[in-house]
A and B are shown apart, each in its own frame.
Chain A
């Protein structure tokens, strides 16, 4: 059997990236930690944003991580699904708004 590209247990090893580039790795994790602290946005709100973005960037690790984070925070599945839709809507909107470019080009090239 061939090995899959994504192995769920690799998520546990995320911290190891610091071993091959200590300074940058450390800076990243410090920054990451600070971002998700309680701030002008609550940690709960940020968790939902992270979940939405995780889907948009289609990162299976982040999806696992922020689904669990949401459960830990008592975020309901309805809230999680709405967050995914918010991400999906922006993503499809971003595709569709390019339809205007297509229309512009079409018109320009047509007599």
Chain B
């Protein structure tokens, strides 16, 4: 596993334009597989448009203490892009005006932004009741200054959503790095200790499972019960729900697919598993994504592909929800990752 981001390695896939070209050439250019647009047209779902906005997902930066091999953000310690206080202030202004009820903080490791806690507190004052923090778990034990994160989360009733690729050490460490499993377990125990994932506490702790390789997740419920049994038996850990998420063919996962010669099979599989019912609930329809530098995107994936919203308003500094809601969502072949099987979103399956 590489310990550097594509960006630090100057890999050509760190250029989103290259990724988009890759996703439009080959199989899709010679008609062997239909483009995503074509699929939507066939079901009369084109153009894809937003439903009422529910979630504002803010990416606080691409810096991360891990360098997971499947990361769609190309995050890592070598990424220096993090949100400034000024941009956070623009976000807070938008939060006062938005119809969205949930603030979803992601990264990188959002907690590594030095103004993370301040931002949560201000957003809470600005009226946000539902917070989601996408925590990679290991950050909680990475440094003393993060040890009290579980308490901080609890104080603001933050809904913690954490990735744990598998309930076994080997697969987790292969995807996320040596030692990640043990640290994740330790962090989960710390979260449990303050009440997270415990019945009746009201503190929600959900886990994210994503396949550690070129295959799709299957049967979220069965997987959840496997995770629950194993984590309880082996480590006495409790959590609420498991979200099974499909890896989208972009960024480092795309790099892996190409290098391991799995790209074609994987795309075939995504296309064959296309589920029109999932299209109704893809997350770009109720979520808006804000990047570390304040640009607006249909989703975190489009953010990484630098596909800014197709609207007159493209930046958080002149946020206008009516203008933004009246837009067509930008799509490409990576979208097949959201519509395969039971569908996939930041909240797990959608169909």
Contact = CB atoms under 8 A, between A and B. Distances in A.
A73 B211 contact: no
A43 to B, nearest CB: 7
Nearest to A77: B170
Interface of B: 166, 168, 211, 213, 215-219, 222-223, 226, 264-265, 268, 272
Contacts of B166: 74
A72 B268 contact: no
Contacts of A44: 222
A12 interface: yes
Nearest to A44: B222
Given A12-B268, A74-B166, A76-B168, A43 B222 contact: yes
Given A12-B268, A43-B222, A44-B222, A72 B217 contact: yes
A94 B218 CA distance: 35
Given A72-B211, A74-B223, 17 more contacts: A9-B265, A42-B222, A43-B219, A43-B222, A44-B222, A68-B215, A71-B215, A72-B215, A72-B218, A72-B219, A73-B218, A73-B222, A73-B223, A74-B166, A74-B222, A74-B226, A76-B168
Q: Is the interface of A mostly helix, strand, loop or mixed?
A: helix
A76 B272 CA distance: 25
Q: Count chain A CB atoms within 10 A of each CB in B166, B168, B215, B264 and give the residue with the most.
A: B215
Q: How many of chain A's residues touch chain B, expressed as a range?
A: 10 to 19
Contact of B213 (A9, A12, A71): A71
A68 B168 CA distance: 18
10 contacts: A12-B268, A42-B222, A44-B222, A71-B215, A72-B216, A72-B218, A72-B219, A73-B218, A73-B219, A73-B223
Contacts of A9: 264-265
Nearest to A73: B218
Interface string A39-80: 000111000000000000000000000001101111010000
Nearest to B216: A72
Contacts of B264: 9
A42 B223 CA distance: 13
Nearest to A12: B268
A12 B264 CA distance: 11
A9 B223 CA distance: 29
Interface in A14-43: 42-43
A8 B91 CA distance: 50
B229 to A, nearest CB: 11
B268 A71 contact: no
A71 B168 contact: no
Contacts of B168: 76
A12 B270 CA distance: 12
Contacts of B223: 73-74
B196 to A, nearest CB: 23
A43 B215 CA distance: 17
A2 B327 CA distance: 53
Q: Count chain B CB atoms within 10 A of each CB in A12, A73, A74, A76 and give the residue with the most.
A: A74
B190 to A, nearest CB: 25
A74 B219 CA distance: 10
Contacts of A71: 211, 213, 215
A69 B222 CA distance: 14
Contacts of B268: 12
A74 B210 CA distance: 11
